[in-house]
Amino acid sequence: HGGAAGLARAVASKPMRIAKGGRGFASGDKDMSVSPDAMREAFKGVPVEPDADGFRAVAPSSWSTATRSGTYDVHGVQVAIYRWEGQIYAIDAACSHEDGRLGESEVGEGGVIACPYHDWRFELATGRCLTDERRPVGCWAVKEAGGNIWIGSKTSEGATERGGAHD
């Protein structure tokens, strides 16, 4: 488990900023002035053990806002978390084009995110790729309970093929 040491390592690994062990913090946070102490304080109440359904808590619910996405290590896989129109969504953090960091994207009109590398576009609710329909990203079960965001198992698989045209 990463705990405070994992959080400290993640703080030092900007720009992606991922915390390990099922806990994490926002990679898309526009306010880069969040101190490591403030992050440790925010995440110290996040449960470490999975719940009865196998979901893992990754962050306090208050940490995910309409303007703050996040990338978290869950079950050994990086997952990007977004809040859009009051709902939480979880998708694979790597773009199906060239593994761009989807957790650094902002949610646009219609719940669509664009990869910051080459602007490939994806629907949050389905993982469908609008740039190349053969290249979706995987989606994950997600819930909010007890003041935390919890990630479960994958609900759809993403494409394994990489490469392709640039927009």
pLDDT at 27 over 70: no
- What the block records as the tokens of 156 is 């759809």
Does 18 score more than 70 pLDDT?
A: no
153 or 31: which carries more pLDDT confidence?
153
Three-state SS across 36-98?
A: HHHHHHHHCCCCCCCCCCCCEEEEEHHHCECCECEEEEECCEEEEEEEECCEEEEEECECCCC
| Percentage of residues in the chain having pLDDT higher than 90 | 49
In angstroms, how far is CA 136 from the centroid of its own chain? 16
Q: Other C-beta atoms within 10 Å of 1: how many?
A: 10
pLDDT tens-place string over residues 66-119: 767 889 988 789 999 999 999 999 999 999 998 889 988 889 999 999 999 899
Which pTM was predicted?
0.76
